[in-house]
Amino acid sequence: MKNPPTPFKFFELTFSELTLELKNRYGKGAYYATTIFREIYVNGNPDVGKPLEFSRSKTFCRQLLRDLEINLNPVTEIKKENGLTKFVTNLRDGLKIESVIVPMATHYTLCVSTQVGCKMGCRFCETARHGFFRNLSVEEIVGQLYTAKFGFGARVRNVVFMGMGEPLDNYDNVVQAIRVMGDQRGMDIPRRYVSVSTSGRIDGIRKLAALNWPQLNLAVSLNAPNDQIRSKIMPINNIYPMVKLREALRDFPMKKNGAIYIEYVLIKNLNDRREHVAQLADYLKPLKVKVNVIPYNPHTDSSFETPEEKDVSRFIDWLVEEKIFVRKRSTKGQDILAGCGQLGKNPLSKDQFV
Ligand code: SAH
Ligand code: SF4
């Protein structure tokens, strides 16, 4: 007896990949891929049973319903906080991920997770405390955007890979998710509106560079002015020290007037002195960068301290003195990093449901 065909997953494919699958599997043309894409991405109907009233092809329709998986996972918790909407998705194996919808002036930014937990073990990070469970699949990453758009009705323009996990530790799935999200016939998020944030996996940065996607935005969580401090708070620095990281950043392809975003979590009495700013400026000199200063958000059982408002402002003034383009990220309110930098922080409780 013939083996049943292996299933294939809708949310892992671009339009041309779906077209190719339909051709190879069933000898069908782009007409059907167009119908499926329109129904799911334009009409927001992930239940393709209906459009598959391809009355001329009942057999094909049956085959497709049997083989094509259109998996979306349920949102089980929603929490509104300072204008942000955080939602928790329950995955098929019972694990949970968080995503954040951040309102901007004219549109929404979505912060997506790429892993359940994280291996990197940064000492200041809440996600790290939970350890690492697994990588998210392409459909689980893309599903977060679909849910934000069609479940919450958010007009998402930007997608930032700044939720739970280290995106470059799940390189293949993240890159394919960017392709699928960017498909013009689908959700149409162009790469200039996508930012990938990394703790500095140089191998991943180099692979990303080799794609030659100059429009894609790269953010690096540097968080320290020298190796001594960085290794103390980010174990990855022992494998990829700052000099090597800078070489990889120098080689990263960039659009005209583009810059690499440097994230700097400011921790009281650790990386907040004038001399640190001088070291940071020296380190960043060969690069085109924009620095985001994020006041450390305390988490449970942490020995680190949050800097006072005036010390944050002073730190920023020092960076300006060094002629570094800098922005302060607020710890509260409608700020992307306030929303997605510390996912996994509060267990979401029932009384916060909307
Ligand atoms: N793993 C990737 C993507 C996550 S982005 C990365 O680290 O870049 C998460 C951002 O939030 C990072 O820039 C990180 O430095 C920051 N962050 C983590 N914990 C934080 C805390 N307690 N307070 C403020 N920012 C934090
Ligand atoms: Fe992972 Fe980023 Fe948190 Fe570090 S800061 S533990 S890389 S999520």
Q: Is 199 in the pocket of ligand 1 (CB under 6 A)?
A: yes
**Higher per-residue pLDDT: 50 or 320:** 320
The burial class, CB within 10 Å (0-12 / 13-18 / 19+), for 30 is middle
Per-residue confidence (pLDDT) for residue 102, from 0 to 100: 94
Rounded mean pLDDT of 13-36?
Answer: 94
CB atoms within 10 A of CB 252: 18
Half-sphere exposure of 295 (CA within 13 A, CB side): 18
Rounded mean pLDDT of 180-196?
Answer: 97
Q: Is 223 in the pocket of ligand 1 (CB under 6 A)?
A: yes
What is the whole-number distance in angstroms between the Cα of residue 48 and the centre of ligand 2? Answer: 37
Task: Point out the least confidently predicted range of 44-53, 254-263, 293-302.
Answer: 44-53
Q: b vs e for 44-56, b when ≥16 Cβ sit within 10 Å of the residue's Cβ?
A: eebebeebbebee
What's the Cα-to-Cα distance from 39 to each of 31, 32, 33, 98, 275, rounded to whole Å?
12, 11, 10, 27, 58
Rounded mean pLDDT of 178-187?
Answer: 97
Per-residue confidence (pLDDT) for residue 49, from 0 to 100: 65
What is the whole-number distance in angstroms between the Cα of residue 337 and the centre of ligand 2? Answer: 12
**Higher per-residue pLDDT: 199 or 257:** 199
Q: Is 195 in the pocket of ligand 1 (CB under 6 A)?
A: no
pLDDT in tens, 307-349: 999 999 999 999 999 999 998 776 555 566 666 666 665 433 3
Rounded mean pLDDT of 12-29?
Answer: 95
Q: Is 342 in the pocket of ligand 1 (CB under 6 A)?
A: yes
Counting ligand 2 atoms within 8 A of each CB, the residue from 196, 199, 264 with the most, and so the one to mutate, is 199
Write down the mean pLDDT value for the chain. 91
Per-residue confidence (pLDDT) for residue 47, from 0 to 100: 81
Task: Point out the least confidently predicted range of 42-51, 72-81, 203-212, 229-238.
Answer: 42-51
What is the whole-number distance in angstroms between the Cα of residue 221 and the centre of ligand 2? Answer: 8
340 assigned to active site: yes
**Number of the ligand closest to the Cα of 222:** 1
Quick one: what percent of the chain has pLDDT higher than 70? Answer: 89
Cβ < 6 Å from ligand 2: which residues? 118, 120-122, 125, 127-128, 165-166, 199, 221
**If pLDDT is split at 50, 70 and 90, which confidence band does 38 have?**
very high
Please count the residues of the chain: 354
CB atoms within 10 A of CB 7: 10
Which atom of ligand 2 is closest in space to residue 121's alpha carbon? 6
Quick one: what percent of the chain has pLDDT higher than 90? Answer: 77
Per-residue confidence (pLDDT) for residue 134, from 0 to 100: 97
Per-residue confidence (pLDDT) for residue 273, from 0 to 100: 98
Per-residue confidence (pLDDT) for residue 41, from 0 to 100: 95
- Find all residues with CB under 8 Å of 351, minimum gap 6, and list them: none
**If pLDDT is split at 50, 70 and 90, which confidence band does 173 have?**
very high
Task: Point out the least confidently predicted range of 32-46, 130-144, 212-226, 333-347.
Answer: 333-347
